[in-house]
Amino acid sequence: MAGLMVPLTPEGVRCDVRAVEREDYVGRELVQLDGNGRPIMAVITEREDGQDCTVYAPTAVASGEEVPCG
């Protein structure tokens, strides 16, 4: 799937939508990327009466061999 999921805004409502690029080290985490391959940590939709924010939490990666049992 291409693109970012963001809050919907009713037609005719003036708003500013901006993607906030992740500035820390990504490592092996699974993160949301924009159309240019840059890691995005949030999208902020600002309206006259407030704002909405979609946060993309990273997902860690591990295997059964790396996680100690018991």
Q: What is the pLDDT of residues 13-56, one digit of tens each?
A: 899 999 999 988 888 888 888 888 899 999 999 998 899 898 98
pLDDT at 2 (0 to 100): 53
Has residue 9 been placed in a domain? Answer: no
3-state secondary structure (DSSP) of residue 55: strand
Has residue 46 been placed in a domain? Answer: yes
Has residue 10 been placed in a domain? Answer: no
Has residue 65 been placed in a domain? Answer: no
Pairing label, strands 50-55, 40-47: antiparallel
pLDDT at 27 (0 to 100): 84
CB 5 within 8 A of CB 34: no
Has residue 1 been placed in a domain? Answer: no
Has residue 20 been placed in a domain? Answer: yes
| pLDDT band, residue 57 (cuts 50/70/90) | confident
- Which residue type does 67 have? V
| pLDDT band, residue 5 (cuts 50/70/90) | confident
Q: How many domains would you assign to the chain?
A: 1
State both tokens at 7. 């809050």
Residues 44, 4: Cα–Cα separation, whole Å: 12
Residues 45, 7: Cα–Cα separation, whole Å: 7
Has residue 69 been placed in a domain? Answer: no
Has residue 42 been placed in a domain? Answer: yes
Range of 41's domain? Answer: 15-55
